[in-house]
Chain A
Amino acid sequence: MQAIYDWAQDLYQRTGINLVFIYEEYERVRFIEGLQNTLWLAIICVVLSVVIGVVGAWLQGSHFRVLRLVVAGYIQFFRNTPPLVQLLFFYFALGKTLENLGVMPMYDAGGWQQPLIGNFGWAVVSLSFFAGSFNVEIFRSGIEAVPTSTREAAEALGYTRLKSYIYIVLPLAFRVSLPALNNNLVNLVKTTTLAYVIAVPEMMYTANQIWSDNVNVPEMMATLFIVYVTLVGVLVWLMHRWERAMRIPGVGQTA
Protein backbone atom coordinates (compact mmCIF):
# COMPACT_ATOMS: atom_id res chain seq x y z
CA MET A 1 0.00 0.00 0.00
CA GLN A 2 2.73 2.42 1.03
CA ALA A 3 4.29 1.96 -2.40
CA ILE A 4 1.10 3.20 -4.07
CA TYR A 5 0.89 6.21 -1.71
CA ASP A 6 4.50 7.06 -2.51
CA TRP A 7 3.88 6.66 -6.22
CA ALA A 8 0.95 9.13 -6.09
CA GLN A 9 2.98 11.60 -4.07
CA ASP A 10 5.86 11.28 -6.48
CA LEU A 11 3.51 11.69 -9.45
CA TYR A 12 2.27 14.96 -7.96
CA GLN A 13 5.80 16.26 -7.42
CA ARG A 14 7.00 15.28 -10.86
CA THR A 15 4.00 16.10 -13.05
CA GLY A 16 1.62 18.20 -10.94
CA ILE A 17 -1.12 15.56 -11.34
CA ASN A 18 -2.62 15.65 -7.88
CA LEU A 19 -4.22 12.35 -6.85
CA VAL A 20 -4.49 13.61 -3.29
CA PHE A 21 -7.08 10.97 -2.35
CA ILE A 22 -4.40 8.30 -2.68
CA TYR A 23 -1.50 9.71 -0.71
CA GLU A 24 -3.22 11.83 1.96
CA GLU A 25 -4.94 9.86 4.68
CA TYR A 26 -7.78 12.29 5.41
CA GLU A 27 -8.78 12.50 1.75
CA ARG A 28 -8.29 8.76 1.29
CA VAL A 29 -10.72 7.96 4.10
CA ARG A 30 -13.25 10.39 2.60
CA PHE A 31 -12.81 8.92 -0.85
CA ILE A 32 -13.30 5.33 0.31
CA GLU A 33 -16.37 6.34 2.31
CA GLY A 34 -17.76 8.05 -0.76
CA LEU A 35 -17.15 4.97 -2.85
CA GLN A 36 -18.81 2.75 -0.25
CA ASN A 37 -21.83 5.02 -0.02
CA THR A 38 -22.22 5.03 -3.80
CA LEU A 39 -21.96 1.24 -3.88
CA TRP A 40 -24.52 0.82 -1.11
CA LEU A 41 -26.87 3.35 -2.63
CA ALA A 42 -26.61 1.67 -6.04
CA ILE A 43 -27.06 -1.90 -4.75
CA ILE A 44 -30.00 -1.09 -2.47
CA CYS A 45 -31.77 1.01 -5.11
CA VAL A 46 -31.26 -1.59 -7.86
CA VAL A 47 -32.71 -4.39 -5.72
CA LEU A 48 -35.60 -2.28 -4.38
CA SER A 49 -36.49 -0.88 -7.80
CA VAL A 50 -36.65 -4.39 -9.31
CA VAL A 51 -38.89 -5.55 -6.45
CA ILE A 52 -41.11 -2.49 -6.96
CA GLY A 53 -41.22 -3.26 -10.70
CA VAL A 54 -42.23 -6.91 -10.18
CA VAL A 55 -44.90 -6.13 -7.58
CA GLY A 56 -46.18 -3.10 -9.51
CA ALA A 57 -46.54 -5.06 -12.73
CA TRP A 58 -48.54 -7.73 -10.91
CA LEU A 59 -50.80 -5.11 -9.32
CA GLN A 60 -51.36 -3.57 -12.75
CA GLY A 61 -53.20 -6.72 -13.76
CA SER A 62 -55.31 -6.75 -10.59
CA HIS A 63 -59.08 -7.21 -10.69
CA PHE A 64 -59.48 -4.28 -8.29
CA ARG A 65 -59.85 -1.03 -10.13
CA VAL A 66 -58.58 1.01 -7.14
CA LEU A 67 -55.30 -0.92 -7.06
CA ARG A 68 -54.79 -0.43 -10.78
CA LEU A 69 -55.46 3.30 -10.37
CA VAL A 70 -52.99 3.54 -7.50
CA VAL A 71 -50.26 1.92 -9.60
CA ALA A 72 -51.09 4.16 -12.57
CA GLY A 73 -50.95 7.23 -10.29
CA TYR A 74 -47.65 6.12 -8.83
CA ILE A 75 -46.13 5.67 -12.29
CA GLN A 76 -47.40 9.04 -13.46
CA PHE A 77 -46.03 10.81 -10.40
CA PHE A 78 -42.58 9.25 -10.36
CA ARG A 79 -41.98 8.95 -14.06
CA ASN A 80 -43.11 12.45 -14.91
CA THR A 81 -41.11 14.44 -12.36
CA PRO A 82 -37.34 15.04 -12.43
CA PRO A 83 -35.43 12.86 -9.93
CA LEU A 84 -33.60 15.96 -8.69
CA VAL A 85 -36.90 17.61 -7.76
CA GLN A 86 -38.07 14.39 -6.11
CA LEU A 87 -34.96 14.18 -3.93
CA LEU A 88 -35.30 17.77 -2.75
CA PHE A 89 -39.05 17.37 -2.23
CA PHE A 90 -38.70 14.18 -0.21
CA TYR A 91 -35.90 15.44 1.97
CA PHE A 92 -36.90 19.04 2.61
CA ALA A 93 -40.68 19.00 2.26
CA LEU A 94 -42.04 15.50 2.95
CA GLY A 95 -39.39 14.45 5.48
CA LYS A 96 -39.84 17.55 7.60
CA THR A 97 -43.62 17.39 7.40
CA LEU A 98 -43.63 13.77 8.61
CA GLU A 99 -41.40 14.78 11.52
CA ASN A 100 -43.66 17.71 12.39
CA LEU A 101 -46.69 15.45 12.36
CA GLY A 102 -44.88 13.05 14.68
CA VAL A 103 -45.25 10.20 12.18
CA MET A 104 -41.53 9.81 11.60
CA PRO A 105 -39.85 7.63 14.25
CA MET A 106 -36.87 9.40 15.82
CA TYR A 107 -33.81 7.92 17.42
CA ASP A 108 -31.27 9.33 19.83
CA ALA A 109 -27.89 9.99 18.21
CA GLY A 110 -25.97 10.97 21.34
CA GLY A 111 -28.22 13.62 22.87
CA TRP A 112 -29.36 14.53 19.42
CA GLN A 113 -32.70 13.49 17.94
CA GLN A 114 -32.43 12.24 14.39
CA PRO A 115 -35.20 10.96 12.13
CA LEU A 116 -35.06 7.26 11.24
CA ILE A 117 -35.02 8.17 7.57
CA GLY A 118 -32.19 10.65 7.08
CA ASN A 119 -30.71 11.94 3.85
CA PHE A 120 -29.40 8.50 2.83
CA GLY A 121 -32.80 6.97 3.56
CA TRP A 122 -34.63 9.55 1.50
CA ALA A 123 -32.20 9.08 -1.36
CA VAL A 124 -32.94 5.32 -1.30
CA VAL A 125 -36.70 5.92 -1.20
CA SER A 126 -36.71 8.52 -3.92
CA LEU A 127 -34.32 6.80 -6.34
CA SER A 128 -35.86 3.35 -5.87
CA PHE A 129 -39.37 4.60 -6.55
CA PHE A 130 -38.14 6.66 -9.48
CA ALA A 131 -36.44 3.72 -11.18
CA GLY A 132 -39.23 1.39 -9.96
CA SER A 133 -41.84 3.32 -11.91
CA PHE A 134 -39.92 2.63 -15.12
CA ASN A 135 -39.41 -0.99 -14.10
CA VAL A 136 -43.18 -1.50 -13.73
CA GLU A 137 -43.66 -0.50 -17.33
CA ILE A 138 -40.67 -2.59 -18.44
CA PHE A 139 -42.12 -5.68 -16.78
CA ARG A 140 -45.54 -4.91 -18.24
CA SER A 141 -44.02 -5.07 -21.70
CA GLY A 142 -42.59 -8.48 -20.78
CA ILE A 143 -45.90 -9.72 -19.37
CA GLU A 144 -47.78 -8.61 -22.47
CA ALA A 145 -45.33 -10.62 -24.54
CA VAL A 146 -46.42 -13.84 -22.79
CA PRO A 147 -49.06 -15.44 -25.04
CA THR A 148 -52.62 -15.48 -23.66
CA SER A 149 -52.80 -19.17 -24.48
CA THR A 150 -49.96 -19.87 -22.02
CA ARG A 151 -51.81 -18.02 -19.26
CA GLU A 152 -55.04 -19.82 -20.10
CA ALA A 153 -53.21 -23.15 -19.98
CA ALA A 154 -51.96 -22.27 -16.46
CA GLU A 155 -55.50 -21.34 -15.44
CA ALA A 156 -56.80 -24.63 -16.84
CA LEU A 157 -54.25 -26.44 -14.69
CA GLY A 158 -55.74 -24.74 -11.62
CA TYR A 159 -53.15 -22.01 -10.99
CA THR A 160 -54.41 -18.98 -9.10
CA ARG A 161 -53.60 -15.53 -10.51
CA LEU A 162 -50.67 -15.06 -8.08
CA LYS A 163 -49.31 -18.57 -8.60
CA SER A 164 -49.51 -18.30 -12.36
CA TYR A 165 -47.73 -14.89 -12.15
CA ILE A 166 -44.92 -16.30 -10.02
CA TYR A 167 -44.40 -19.65 -11.77
CA ILE A 168 -45.49 -19.10 -15.35
CA VAL A 169 -45.84 -15.47 -16.42
CA LEU A 170 -42.99 -13.76 -14.57
CA PRO A 171 -40.24 -16.23 -15.49
CA LEU A 172 -41.10 -15.80 -19.17
CA ALA A 173 -41.73 -12.06 -18.90
CA PHE A 174 -38.47 -11.52 -17.03
CA ARG A 175 -36.40 -12.88 -19.89
CA VAL A 176 -38.13 -10.58 -22.35
CA SER A 177 -37.70 -7.60 -20.04
CA LEU A 178 -34.03 -8.01 -19.25
CA PRO A 179 -32.50 -5.85 -22.03
CA ALA A 180 -34.80 -2.92 -21.18
CA LEU A 181 -34.24 -3.52 -17.48
CA ASN A 182 -30.49 -3.36 -18.06
CA ASN A 183 -30.85 0.10 -19.55
CA ASN A 184 -32.92 1.38 -16.68
CA LEU A 185 -30.64 -0.03 -14.00
CA VAL A 186 -27.59 1.50 -15.68
CA ASN A 187 -29.43 4.81 -15.62
CA LEU A 188 -30.27 4.31 -11.97
CA VAL A 189 -26.64 3.78 -10.99
CA LYS A 190 -25.71 7.00 -12.76
CA THR A 191 -28.64 8.88 -11.17
CA THR A 192 -27.33 8.10 -7.67
CA THR A 193 -24.93 11.05 -8.20
CA LEU A 194 -27.92 13.36 -7.73
CA ALA A 195 -28.07 12.40 -4.05
CA TYR A 196 -25.33 14.99 -3.46
CA VAL A 197 -28.01 17.73 -3.43
CA ILE A 198 -29.33 16.39 -0.14
CA ALA A 199 -25.77 16.01 1.16
CA VAL A 200 -25.51 12.23 0.92
CA PRO A 201 -21.72 11.76 0.99
CA GLU A 202 -21.55 9.57 -2.12
CA MET A 203 -18.88 9.67 -4.81
CA MET A 204 -19.97 12.89 -6.54
CA TYR A 205 -20.30 14.78 -3.24
CA THR A 206 -16.95 13.49 -2.02
CA ALA A 207 -15.18 14.38 -5.26
CA ASN A 208 -16.65 17.87 -5.02
CA GLN A 209 -15.34 18.27 -1.46
CA ILE A 210 -11.91 16.98 -2.42
CA TRP A 211 -11.50 19.23 -5.44
CA SER A 212 -12.77 22.24 -3.46
CA ASP A 213 -10.11 21.72 -0.83
CA ASN A 214 -7.25 20.78 -3.14
CA VAL A 215 -8.11 22.59 -6.40
CA ASN A 216 -7.50 19.42 -8.43
CA VAL A 217 -10.69 19.60 -10.49
CA PRO A 218 -9.47 17.84 -13.69
CA GLU A 219 -7.98 14.94 -11.72
CA MET A 220 -11.17 14.40 -9.71
CA MET A 221 -13.36 14.66 -12.82
CA ALA A 222 -11.26 11.98 -14.49
CA THR A 223 -11.45 9.85 -11.36
CA LEU A 224 -15.24 10.20 -11.24
CA PHE A 225 -15.42 9.09 -14.84
CA ILE A 226 -13.31 6.01 -14.21
CA VAL A 227 -15.28 5.11 -11.09
CA TYR A 228 -18.64 5.21 -12.90
CA VAL A 229 -17.39 3.49 -16.04
CA THR A 230 -16.11 0.66 -13.83
CA LEU A 231 -19.24 0.53 -11.70
CA VAL A 232 -21.63 0.45 -14.67
CA GLY A 233 -19.30 -1.96 -16.47
CA VAL A 234 -19.53 -4.43 -13.60
CA LEU A 235 -23.32 -4.08 -13.47
CA VAL A 236 -23.70 -4.64 -17.23
CA TRP A 237 -21.37 -7.65 -17.10
CA LEU A 238 -23.41 -9.20 -14.27
CA MET A 239 -26.69 -8.55 -16.06
CA HIS A 240 -25.39 -10.13 -19.27
CA ARG A 241 -24.23 -13.20 -17.40
CA TRP A 242 -27.63 -13.45 -15.79
CA GLU A 243 -29.33 -13.04 -19.15
CA ARG A 244 -27.24 -15.87 -20.61
CA ALA A 245 -27.79 -18.11 -17.58
CA MET A 246 -31.56 -17.71 -17.90
CA ARG A 247 -31.71 -18.27 -21.64
CA ILE A 248 -34.23 -20.86 -22.72
CA PRO A 249 -33.34 -22.32 -26.12
CA GLY A 250 -36.02 -21.35 -28.57
CA VAL A 251 -37.52 -18.51 -26.53
CA GLY A 252 -36.93 -14.99 -27.79
CA GLN A 253 -33.94 -15.94 -29.90
CA THR A 254 -34.08 -16.94 -33.52
CA ALA A 255 -30.52 -18.03 -34.06
Chain B
Amino acid sequence: MTDTLARLGRFSLDWLRALGHSAFFFVDLLRFSPAALRRFPLVLAQVNAIGNRSLIIIAASGLAVGFVLALQMYYALVTYGAAESLGLIVNLALVRELGPVVTALLFAGRAGTSLTAEIGLMKAGEQLAAMELMAIDPRARVLAPRFIGGIVSMPILALVFSAVGILGAYVVAVLLIGVDAGNFWSIMQDRVDVWRDLGNGIVKSAVFGIICTFVALYQGYETEATPEGVAHATTRTVVISSLGVLGMDFILTALMFSTP
Protein backbone atom coordinates (compact mmCIF):
# COMPACT_ATOMS: atom_id res chain seq x y z
CA MET B 1 0.00 0.00 0.00
CA THR B 2 2.70 2.45 1.00
CA ASP B 3 4.71 1.26 -2.02
CA THR B 4 1.89 2.26 -4.36
CA LEU B 5 1.60 5.62 -2.63
CA ALA B 6 5.34 6.19 -2.88
CA ARG B 7 5.27 5.29 -6.57
CA LEU B 8 2.43 7.72 -7.20
CA GLY B 9 4.31 10.40 -5.30
CA ARG B 10 7.53 9.76 -7.20
CA PHE B 11 5.67 9.83 -10.50
CA SER B 12 4.03 13.17 -9.67
CA LEU B 13 7.29 14.66 -8.43
CA ASP B 14 9.16 13.53 -11.56
CA TRP B 15 6.44 14.95 -13.72
CA LEU B 16 6.44 18.30 -11.91
CA ARG B 17 10.24 18.43 -12.01
CA ALA B 18 10.25 17.85 -15.78
CA LEU B 19 7.59 20.53 -16.19
CA GLY B 20 9.55 23.07 -14.16
CA HIS B 21 12.77 22.15 -15.91
CA SER B 22 11.23 22.63 -19.35
CA ALA B 23 9.75 25.96 -18.26
CA PHE B 24 13.19 27.21 -17.24
CA PHE B 25 14.59 25.90 -20.51
CA PHE B 26 11.91 27.83 -22.41
CA VAL B 27 12.74 31.05 -20.54
CA ASP B 28 16.43 30.49 -21.33
CA LEU B 29 15.64 30.12 -25.02
CA LEU B 30 13.67 33.36 -24.96
CA ARG B 31 16.51 35.08 -23.09
CA PHE B 32 19.11 34.02 -25.66
CA SER B 33 16.92 34.79 -28.69
CA PRO B 34 17.84 38.50 -29.05
CA ALA B 35 21.55 37.63 -28.95
CA ALA B 36 20.97 34.98 -31.61
CA LEU B 37 19.21 37.53 -33.82
CA ARG B 38 22.40 39.60 -33.73
CA ARG B 39 24.26 36.60 -35.18
CA PHE B 40 21.92 36.61 -38.12
CA PRO B 41 23.79 34.22 -40.50
CA LEU B 42 23.26 31.44 -37.94
CA VAL B 43 19.49 32.04 -38.00
CA LEU B 44 19.48 32.21 -41.80
CA ALA B 45 21.22 28.86 -42.05
CA GLN B 46 18.57 27.37 -39.76
CA VAL B 47 15.67 28.87 -41.74
CA ASN B 48 17.26 27.29 -44.78
CA ALA B 49 17.64 23.91 -43.08
CA ILE B 50 14.22 23.88 -41.39
CA GLY B 51 12.06 25.83 -43.81
CA ASN B 52 13.45 25.42 -47.30
CA ARG B 53 14.05 21.72 -47.02
CA SER B 54 10.51 21.08 -45.69
CA LEU B 55 9.00 22.99 -48.60
CA ILE B 56 8.56 20.09 -51.00
CA ILE B 57 6.78 17.76 -48.58
CA ILE B 58 4.57 20.64 -47.36
CA ALA B 59 3.62 21.69 -50.90
CA ALA B 60 2.98 18.10 -51.98
CA SER B 61 0.78 17.42 -48.94
CA GLY B 62 -1.10 20.69 -49.45
CA LEU B 63 -1.80 19.81 -53.05
CA ALA B 64 -3.00 16.31 -52.11
CA VAL B 65 -5.25 17.65 -49.33
CA GLY B 66 -6.71 20.25 -51.71
CA PHE B 67 -7.40 17.62 -54.38
CA VAL B 68 -9.07 15.18 -51.99
CA LEU B 69 -11.12 17.82 -50.14
CA ALA B 70 -12.44 19.20 -53.44
CA LEU B 71 -13.37 15.76 -54.76
CA GLN B 72 -15.13 14.62 -51.59
CA MET B 73 -16.91 17.91 -50.99
CA TYR B 74 -18.13 17.95 -54.57
CA TYR B 75 -19.94 14.63 -54.20
CA ALA B 76 -21.63 15.80 -51.02
CA LEU B 77 -22.47 19.32 -52.21
CA VAL B 78 -23.72 18.55 -55.71
CA THR B 79 -26.70 16.73 -54.16
CA TYR B 80 -27.87 20.04 -52.71
CA GLY B 81 -26.97 22.10 -55.76
CA ALA B 82 -24.32 23.95 -53.79
CA ALA B 83 -21.22 22.83 -55.70
CA GLU B 84 -20.11 26.47 -56.04
CA SER B 85 -19.56 26.74 -52.27
CA LEU B 86 -16.86 24.12 -52.63
CA GLY B 87 -14.14 26.75 -52.82
CA LEU B 88 -15.40 28.40 -49.65
CA ILE B 89 -15.43 25.16 -47.68
CA VAL B 90 -11.98 24.13 -48.85
CA ASN B 91 -10.64 27.61 -48.13
CA LEU B 92 -12.04 27.81 -44.59
CA ALA B 93 -10.98 24.25 -43.77
CA LEU B 94 -7.44 24.91 -44.98
CA VAL B 95 -6.87 28.43 -43.68
CA ARG B 96 -8.44 27.92 -40.27
CA GLU B 97 -7.59 24.34 -39.35
CA LEU B 98 -5.85 22.01 -41.77
CA GLY B 99 -3.15 24.41 -42.93
CA PRO B 100 -1.69 25.15 -39.48
CA VAL B 101 -2.35 21.69 -37.97
CA VAL B 102 -1.20 19.41 -40.81
CA THR B 103 1.81 21.65 -41.43
CA ALA B 104 2.71 21.41 -37.74
CA LEU B 105 2.36 17.61 -37.75
CA LEU B 106 4.53 17.32 -40.87
CA PHE B 107 6.95 19.84 -39.39
CA ALA B 108 7.30 17.76 -36.23
CA GLY B 109 8.08 14.73 -38.35
CA ARG B 110 10.30 16.39 -40.94
CA ALA B 111 12.15 19.14 -39.05
CA GLY B 112 11.55 18.37 -35.35
CA THR B 113 13.11 14.92 -35.51
CA SER B 114 16.19 16.17 -37.32
CA LEU B 115 16.63 18.93 -34.72
CA THR B 116 16.36 16.44 -31.85
CA ALA B 117 18.72 13.94 -33.46
CA GLU B 118 21.26 16.61 -34.37
CA ILE B 119 21.39 18.12 -30.89
CA GLY B 120 21.20 14.71 -29.22
CA LEU B 121 24.22 13.52 -31.20
CA MET B 122 26.04 16.77 -30.46
CA LYS B 123 25.48 16.03 -26.79
CA ALA B 124 26.47 12.37 -27.18
CA GLY B 125 29.64 13.44 -29.00
CA GLU B 126 30.31 15.92 -26.18
CA GLN B 127 30.38 18.84 -28.59
CA LEU B 128 28.06 20.78 -26.32
CA ALA B 129 30.32 20.08 -23.33
CA ALA B 130 33.33 21.22 -25.38
CA MET B 131 31.56 24.49 -26.17
CA GLU B 132 30.87 25.07 -22.50
CA LEU B 133 34.56 24.53 -21.77
CA MET B 134 35.33 27.30 -24.27
CA ALA B 135 32.93 29.54 -22.33
CA ILE B 136 30.38 29.49 -25.16
CA ASP B 137 26.86 28.76 -23.96
CA PRO B 138 25.52 26.10 -26.36
CA ARG B 139 22.00 27.35 -25.70
CA ALA B 140 22.94 30.73 -27.21
CA ARG B 141 25.13 29.38 -30.03
CA VAL B 142 23.26 26.20 -31.02
CA LEU B 143 19.72 26.19 -29.66
CA ALA B 144 18.48 29.79 -29.92
CA PRO B 145 19.13 30.18 -33.69
CA ARG B 146 17.25 26.91 -34.31
CA PHE B 147 14.39 28.14 -32.09
CA ILE B 148 14.00 31.36 -34.08
CA GLY B 149 14.43 29.52 -37.37
CA GLY B 150 11.57 27.17 -36.49
CA ILE B 151 9.25 29.97 -35.39
CA VAL B 152 9.95 31.95 -38.59
CA SER B 153 9.57 28.94 -40.88
CA MET B 154 6.29 27.51 -39.59
CA PRO B 155 3.87 30.34 -40.56
CA ILE B 156 5.46 30.58 -44.01
CA LEU B 157 5.11 26.83 -44.51
CA ALA B 158 1.48 26.92 -43.32
CA LEU B 159 0.70 29.77 -45.74
CA VAL B 160 2.27 27.84 -48.61
CA PHE B 161 0.29 24.75 -47.57
CA SER B 162 -3.04 26.62 -47.64
CA ALA B 163 -2.30 28.46 -50.88
CA VAL B 164 -1.22 25.29 -52.68
CA GLY B 165 -4.24 23.44 -51.27
CA ILE B 166 -6.65 26.07 -52.61
CA LEU B 167 -4.94 25.95 -56.00
CA GLY B 168 -5.29 22.16 -55.91
CA ALA B 169 -8.99 22.49 -55.15
CA TYR B 170 -9.25 24.95 -58.06
CA VAL B 171 -7.62 22.43 -60.40
CA VAL B 172 -9.99 19.63 -59.39
CA ALA B 173 -13.19 21.66 -59.06
CA VAL B 174 -12.89 24.10 -61.96
CA LEU B 175 -10.59 22.44 -64.46
CA LEU B 176 -11.58 18.78 -64.01
CA ILE B 177 -15.16 18.79 -62.72
CA GLY B 178 -16.29 22.04 -64.30
CA VAL B 179 -17.57 24.15 -61.39
CA ASP B 180 -17.98 27.76 -62.46
CA ALA B 181 -14.70 29.61 -61.87
CA GLY B 182 -16.32 32.98 -61.15
CA ASN B 183 -18.55 31.59 -58.43
CA PHE B 184 -15.71 29.51 -57.03
CA TRP B 185 -13.66 32.64 -56.30
CA SER B 186 -16.41 35.15 -55.55
CA ILE B 187 -18.18 33.08 -52.87
CA MET B 188 -14.79 32.59 -51.28
CA GLN B 189 -13.99 36.30 -51.35
CA ASP B 190 -17.42 37.09 -50.01
CA ARG B 191 -17.24 34.89 -46.93
CA VAL B 192 -13.59 34.56 -45.91
CA ASP B 193 -12.41 37.38 -43.69
CA VAL B 194 -8.76 38.40 -43.87
CA TRP B 195 -8.30 39.16 -40.18
CA ARG B 196 -10.62 36.65 -38.62
CA ASP B 197 -9.83 33.61 -40.74
CA LEU B 198 -6.44 34.20 -42.34
CA GLY B 199 -5.04 36.23 -39.43
CA ASN B 200 -6.07 33.70 -36.80
CA GLY B 201 -4.67 30.91 -38.96
CA ILE B 202 -1.29 32.65 -39.02
CA VAL B 203 -1.40 33.17 -35.23
CA LYS B 204 -2.16 29.47 -34.84
CA SER B 205 0.74 28.40 -37.00
CA ALA B 206 3.14 30.69 -35.09
CA VAL B 207 2.00 29.10 -31.80
CA PHE B 208 2.46 25.62 -33.28
CA GLY B 209 5.92 26.66 -34.51
CA ILE B 210 6.88 27.57 -30.93
CA ILE B 211 5.50 24.26 -29.58
CA CYS B 212 7.16 22.02 -32.19
CA THR B 213 10.56 23.70 -32.14
CA PHE B 214 10.63 23.97 -28.35
CA VAL B 215 9.74 20.30 -27.83
CA ALA B 216 12.33 19.19 -30.39
CA LEU B 217 15.10 21.30 -28.84
CA TYR B 218 14.22 20.30 -25.28
CA GLN B 219 14.17 16.59 -26.11
CA GLY B 220 17.49 16.89 -27.95
CA TYR B 221 19.16 18.87 -25.18
CA GLU B 222 17.92 16.64 -22.36
CA THR B 223 18.50 13.32 -24.10
CA GLU B 224 20.48 10.50 -22.56
CA ALA B 225 23.82 10.58 -24.36
CA THR B 226 23.48 7.08 -25.83
CA PRO B 227 22.19 5.74 -29.17
CA GLU B 228 19.04 4.42 -27.46
CA GLY B 229 18.60 7.73 -25.66
CA VAL B 230 18.69 9.68 -28.92
CA ALA B 231 16.28 7.21 -30.52
CA HIS B 232 13.81 7.60 -27.65
CA ALA B 233 14.16 11.36 -27.66
CA THR B 234 13.38 11.50 -31.38
CA THR B 235 10.26 9.39 -30.88
CA ARG B 236 9.15 11.50 -27.93
CA THR B 237 9.60 14.66 -30.03
CA VAL B 238 7.07 13.46 -32.59
CA VAL B 239 4.58 12.16 -30.01
CA ILE B 240 4.70 15.14 -27.65
CA SER B 241 4.67 17.84 -30.31
CA SER B 242 1.83 16.16 -32.22
CA LEU B 243 -0.29 15.83 -29.08
CA GLY B 244 0.63 19.36 -28.01
CA VAL B 245 -0.36 20.77 -31.40
CA LEU B 246 -3.69 18.91 -31.46
CA GLY B 247 -4.57 19.92 -27.90
CA MET B 248 -3.54 23.53 -28.45
CA ASP B 249 -5.51 23.62 -31.70
CA PHE B 250 -8.68 22.76 -29.82
CA ILE B 251 -8.07 25.52 -27.27
CA LEU B 252 -7.18 28.11 -29.93
CA THR B 253 -10.18 27.20 -32.10
CA ALA B 254 -12.47 27.52 -29.07
CA LEU B 255 -10.99 30.97 -28.32
CA MET B 256 -10.94 32.28 -31.91
CA PHE B 257 -13.97 30.83 -33.64
CA SER B 258 -16.50 30.15 -30.86
CA THR B 259 -18.80 32.90 -32.14
CA PRO B 260 -20.18 32.27 -35.65
Asked if A and B bind, the verdict is no
Residues of B at under 8 Å CB distance from A? Answer: none
